[in-house]
Each structure stands twice: as C-alpha cells, then as structure tokens.
Amino acid sequence: MDPAAVAVESGLADVVTLQRRRQARVSAHDEESFFLDTLSEYQWARDAAGLAPATLDGLVKPVIEVCNYYGTVPWQLSPREVDRYFARPGKRASSTLRAKINKIDAYFAFLEQRYAGEIMRRFGAAVESPIDLFNRPRHRGDFGLRIPPSQTAMCDFFSRWREDLPNARKYFVACRNYVMTKVAYLSGVRAAELCGVCMGDIHWEHGQWGRFVVQGKGARASGPRPREAYMFQEGRALLWWYIEEIRGEFGDDAEHPRAPLWPSERKPTAVAALNLPIAPAIVPSTFRRSLHAAATNYLTGPVADLFPHLLRHACATHNYERGMTLWEVQKVLGHDWATTTLRYMATAHADPEVANLAASSQAAQRLVAIHALPGEELRTILTTDLNLARGTLEVRRGLLRHTLYLEEFTHRLASEWLAYRHHRWPASTNPCLLVSQKTALDPDHPVVSRTLLRRTLPKNVTLVGLRQDRMLNEAFATGDPLKLMRLFGITAQTAMRYVAAAYPERTARLPR
C-alpha cells in the first residue's frame, strides 16, 4: 500500500471515508421507505390545513406516477426526466398536465422546507424541484367554452326521458337517475354535492319552496362548506314525488336521517352482512355515466352529450336568460365571487348593449311617464340641469326654462342613473344626461338618437302616448288647468283641452 495514501486517509481524508461508509450503508429500500414517509407527512400536513379527503388523495398521485415510471425517488429526479415523461408517455390534455406539474412542484416545496437537510445527511442528495422556469406551466386561459343545450332542448330532453321511464328495465333506478338529473339542473349543484345529500338535509319549510343542504367544495381547496341549495317550485314537487313513491323501494331505511337521498342499488356484501340501516350513496362517476347514457338516448340538438357540470352551466345560463339577475344566479350557484359566475354564463343570450339601452331608456321612460316630458326635450337635458340636492330638473323650451320638481321615485331613479353613468363611462365628457355606448365617449358630444328612446318600449307604446296619458290622468285627478300648466309647463289652451277631454261637461274657463 502506498504510504502517502495511508497518510492522507489517516488525516483530513477521514471525513471523506466516513461519508463513503455511511452512503454504502444506505440501501434502496431505505430511500423508498423514507419516500413513503414523506408522502404520508405531506398528506397529514395538508389535512391539518383543512383539505378535503378527495383532494388529499390527488395531491401525491402525480409524484408517485413519475417516480414509478423511472423507478426512483423524487430527489433523484431531474428536470429532463420530468420533461421527457410528460412529453411522451405522460402526455395528457393541457389542463391535466398543468394540474399534475403544479402538484409535483408543491410536493417539492414541502420537501425543501422540511426534509432538505435530512435527505442530504442520509442520502447525500440535494432536494431541488425538477419544475423550473422552463417547464413550469403558465395559465394561458385554455379552458374550453362549455356550451349547454338550449332551454328548448333541455325541456325536450326531460320530456322524452320522462315518457320512456315506464319502459326502463330497472324502473326505480331510472326514476332515481331522472329526478337526480332534473334536480341538478334546477338547483345548479355540483355532482359531488348532490351525491352527498342525506334525507335529513332536506328542509321543506325553508324559503318559499324548501331547500336542501349540500357540502360545498370551498374556495381554493379550503374544505367543505355547507350551504343551502334551492329546489324551486318544480324541484319541490318532483322531489316530493320521488321520496313518497320511489325512495322507499331501495333496500335500506329511508326514514333514517343519515340515509342518502340517492342510494346505490348495489348494496355491498359487507354492509348487507352487518345489517346496517342505510345503503351507500351513489357516487359521482355513476351519476356521470347515467347522464351520458340518457343524453345519448334523449338529447337532441347541436349539443350531443351531457355531464354534471354542464348542467350547472345550463342552470346559470337559462336562469339568467329568464330574467334572474347576476347576484341571484351567484346565490343559486353558491359562488363567493361574481366573476366566477360570469364564466358560467359565457353563452347566455344577453347583449350588453341592449342592457345599456335599457338602463338609459328606463330613466327616459320614467321622466316621460311621470313628468310628461317630450322626447325632444329628454334628448337635450344636461347633467347640470339636474339638481339632486334640491330635487329639481330644469328643462329648456326655446328661450324659456321650466323647472320640474322630481317625485321620490324619479329622484331615486335619476340618482341611480348618474351613479351607473359615472361607473360605466368615467372618462365621458358628454354633457348630456342621457348617453349611450356610442355617444358617451364621442368627442363631438352628440345627443342620443330617437331610436334609443324607443327601442325598449313595450309594443304599441310610444313616448308621445305616455306623455299624453300622464297629462290626461292628472286632468282626471284634479280637473285644475292651472295645476296642469304649473306641473307640465304647458300653455293655457293645451291645459284646457286636457280638462275638457277629462270632464266634457265642464265649460269653465281660466280666470282672467
């Protein structure tokens, strides 16, 4: 043996020797066991943070998937190996890849925070995430547009399915699937929320038609959050029939408060042997398959398939099209943020320009119907003519000015319109009180068109007719031509004509 080598080993090289001996004692089994321990620790930590059990199961699956493919432990993975796996054998849809890579990155953040030092001491490996700047996914807004069937298609779908129920091989199961689908469409609840409803969660006395409690998924994986879902009138009648006629045909105790509302027809052998009072509930995957089969048989139109979340989109879209406000749709779906609800109504047949016309025309219609303003005067009213503090509105009639004293209703409406106008077009310099999408930001400051004021009026109703009806009603109520002159700013001859039309038997003239 070389004496120099012996001298080096007996000196400072003792540290290197000890490190080599410790690494030699580490086996692949030790690394695998430690890897499994970290997975359990990671799930326990996220469980303590309040994540749902289903979420916990999915946190570590991508990590195990990649490690099993290469037969290694996470701290031995390189960015190149992760790239190669997700580019070839692990290639999936972009949204799936994004979710998996983000979960792997989150697991490595846990390893670096809690076990980086121990892994270095025991296995001599530095913990570094294989998800780097180059393979980290960026959210590109690549979510597909979910287009639900139309209201007509959904009505036809449920009608054809209902008529075919007596021909089903398993009648009670078919009725359960039908009612479950209809309730999901009416209430807008998620599949997992609906499957978890128990008999004790139904509260017939709440609200106008009753409600039922579901376990919401919670925002940003914050865990289940109970909330009330709405049955509405049609859902209440259907659910009542289902509980009275169908639910008792399944083999468990339907009166037990924790019995599932939607029981599975396949009672497990272990449950049957234990003689438990309740059956297991149907799972979301079963509901999804039954909905797909029903859509194949009964759904017509351009949308050829249905899945539970599309029913939720259909609920939001169709309720909004029927006249329900955005806030009410948000309440039905259980969203915390209105922006989330807006994504569900991407295909709603609603035109923002029509809504804008309705907002401005509503103010115009009220001014005509209550204060009998001519349409031409409405178009030229300026924002400076409106004095909310005094409750007055000055109207220009040639060289003259007529002051209107606003009623409580028109005062509130004018205030709301000014707030909407400022919020909708904060940079508008148009001095006119009534503006549209085109005139608000036009540098020439044009007045609104006559068409805008007429577009939202009911059929066979005109602004001139509204004005005449208002003055005639006032003439019927008072019969005083002087009051008509002061209230509407009309001439003596015009006031007398309205009084004469209201009371033909009167021939009194204005005092001179």
Per-residue pLDDT band for 267 (boundaries 50, 70, 90) equals: low
Phi-psi group of 210: left, alpha or beta (phi > 0 → left; psi -120 to 50 → alpha; rest → beta): left
Predicted confidence at residue 5, as pLDDT, reads 45
Predicted confidence at residue 320, as pLDDT, reads 86
Q: Which of helix, strand or coil describes residue 230?
A: strand
> Which range among 9-23, 96-110, 225-239 shows the weakest confidence by mean pLDDT?
9-23
Confidence check: pLDDT of 364 > 80: no
Average pLDDT over residues 27-31: 73
Closest CA to 110 of 26, 47, 32: 47
Instruction: List, in order, residues 6 or more apart from 415 with CB less than 8 Å away.
Output: 388
Ordered structural domains, the chain, with CATH: 3-123 (no CATH), 151-344 (1.10.443.10), 352-502 (1.10.443.10)
Per-residue model confidence as pLDDT tens digits over 456-498: 666 777 778 878 888 888 888 888 888 787 777 788 888 888 8
Per-residue model confidence as pLDDT tens digits over 372-388: 677 777 788 888 888 88
Tell me how crowded residue 370 is: count the other CB atoms within 10 A of its CB.
16
Question: How many percent of the chain have pLDDT more than 90?
Answer: 38
Residues in the chain: 512
Confidence check: pLDDT of 354 > 90: no
The answer to whether the CB of 403 falls within 8 A of the CB of 368 is no
Average pLDDT over residues 272-283: 73
Confidence check: pLDDT of 8 > 50: no
Angle, vertex CA 220, rays to CA 217 and CA 226, nearest 5: 30
Predicted confidence at residue 511, as pLDDT, reads 52
Predicted confidence at residue 12, as pLDDT, reads 44
Confidence check: pLDDT of 417 > 90: no
Angle, vertex CA 289, rays to CA 286 and CA 295, nearest 5: 140
Per-residue model confidence as pLDDT tens digits over 211-224: 999 998 776 656 67
Predicted confidence at residue 485, as pLDDT, reads 79
Average pLDDT over residues 393-402: 78
Per-residue model confidence as pLDDT tens digits over 130-181: 999 898 887 654 456 788 999 999 999 999 999 999 999 999 999 999 999 9
Per-residue pLDDT band for 18 (boundaries 50, 70, 90) equals: very low
